Chain A
């Protein structure tokens, strides 16, 4: 038995896109194969590692767990859309800059997901404590850095983003 393919329309990084795909195709595969946005990676394929993280309608999601039909009408942001001005020679996002400065990326597989999880965290909580950073990135696994430099990167980005840093919760 085969499914009927569907035309699914959503917005990716500010651009309206229509894809023709089986409704159960994973959003991750549509992004990578149909739209050639290969920033989101497949790590575990079961929602444990966070390397496929993107933002959908303002929430952090694992794109490997989303049937593309459920993205109909959604606003999606991938790591390619984090610094929209980069194609025109613009600056990196403050998080990307901080990851560069603090050594937050090593092999790079987890980095797009880390950036999206960190972007989600800072949007809702511009000055997170270390504990809040650990929670915000709790679903993103890195097997290279030992996490310390990633947390330092997010802390640096949050410090640069605003005038005052809230003291740590504990």
Chain B
């Protein structure tokens, strides 16, 4: 059944301060809408339950990418096109730049925002694995002030997160200390364009003295929300990459991944593909580092 536009209120206060005051004045009453690539789909189908919406689109306080001394700060309102066109992101955060190109089509990337992708909280979110692999922190803001938490603590359950009713996701902070890390990113979907991930993996690792000194494995569609594969990381950390390490890592992935059967794929398939992706990353690490 088609949604009725007259059944919904939408206002655009135009500034972050005005939006935060509105959220504080009636906590939980207002639903933020940025690029609309999620909520407008629900609206068209008559499934949008939010009655009062507040627009975050193009609020300058939220749409920025700033290169700071120790991190790159990406405003929640930055679009995936903004990320793809940013030279610092391309140079220092190639996994995030590449993942931004996975999000739907060009027309989706020009509207969909990084903040929207995270707050929507799909287990298959395209930007999440890269943020996990880069150890991102996220900043939440309200009229009470701001707080910064590790991104891997943000999701608390299927489509649930840490945001209080009067809070907005303000920015994602990406530490600038991955220049020496090796990176990996792969999404397995039904087709190359427009597909929702059956499984996706982003990974970074630091190799020192031929052993793995640091490793982060960020995965989509293996749990109710995007998640690090901590136990798999532990099976690899501190070891040289050998056939034994790869075998142990595969066993760890198969035990740790908790995917579901759904319309897009089967749990057993997802588990095995996840193990294959981790193995592929580790085999790349066995090769000499490619020089640009």
Contacts and interface: CB of A to CB of B under 8 A. Distances in A.
A88 interface: no
B49 to A, nearest CB: 13
B111 A138 contact: no
B6 A139 contact: no
A72 interface: yes
A45 B1 CA distance: 12
Contact of B107 (A22, A24, A50): A50
A61 B110 contact: yes
A69 B12 contact: yes
Interface string A50-68: 1001000001111011110
Contacts of A139: 104-108, 193-194
B45 interface: yes
Given A23-B11, A64-B40, A47 B5 contact: no
A48 B151 CA distance: 29
A45 B105 contact: no
Nearest to B10: A23
A59 B79 CA distance: 11
A26 B44 contact: yes
A98 interface: no
Contact of A2 (B6, B33, B53, B81): B6
Contacts of A72: 12
A48 to B, nearest CB: 6
A71 to B, nearest CB: 10
A120 interface: yes
B263 interface: no
B6 A3 contact: yes
Interface in B92-118: 101, 104-108, 110-111
Nearest to A45: B44
Contacts of A148: none
B7 interface: yes
Q: Most B CB atoms within 10 A — which of A21, A70, A121, A135?
A: A70
B9 interface: yes
A93 interface: no
Interface in A131-170: 134-136, 138-140
A67 B108 contact: no
Q: Give chain B's interface residue range (CB within 8 Å of chain A).
A: 20 to 34
Contact of B6 (A22, A45, A62, A67): A22
Contacts of A21: 5
A107 interface: no
A80 interface: no
Interface in B1-59: 5-12, 33, 35-37, 40-41, 43-45, 51, 53, 55, 57-58
Contact of A66 (B6, B104, B106, B111): B111
Interface in A107-142: 117, 120-121, 134-136, 138-140
B107 A46 contact: no
Given A48-B194, A70-B55, A1 B33 contact: no
Contacts of B55: 67, 69-70
Contacts of A117: 106-107
A9 interface: no
A65 B10 CA distance: 14
Nearest to B41: A46
A65 B5 contact: no
B57 A70 contact: yes
A70 B11 CA distance: 9
Contacts of A67: 5, 10, 33, 36, 40, 43, 53, 55
Interface of A: 1-4, 21-26, 29, 45-48, 50, 53, 59-62, 64-67, 69-70, 72, 117, 120-121, 134-136, 138-140
Interface of B: 5-12, 33, 35-37, 40-41, 43-45, 51, 53, 55, 57-58, 81, 101, 104-108, 110-111, 192-194
7 contacts: A22-B8, A59-B81, A66-B36, A67-B40, A70-B57, A139-B104, A139-B194
Given A48-B194, A65-B40, A117-B107, 4 more contacts: A22-B6, A24-B53, A46-B44, A70-B36
Q: Which 5 A-B pairs give the minimum distances between C-beta atoms?
A: A139-B105, A138-B193, A59-B110, A23-B10, A24-B5
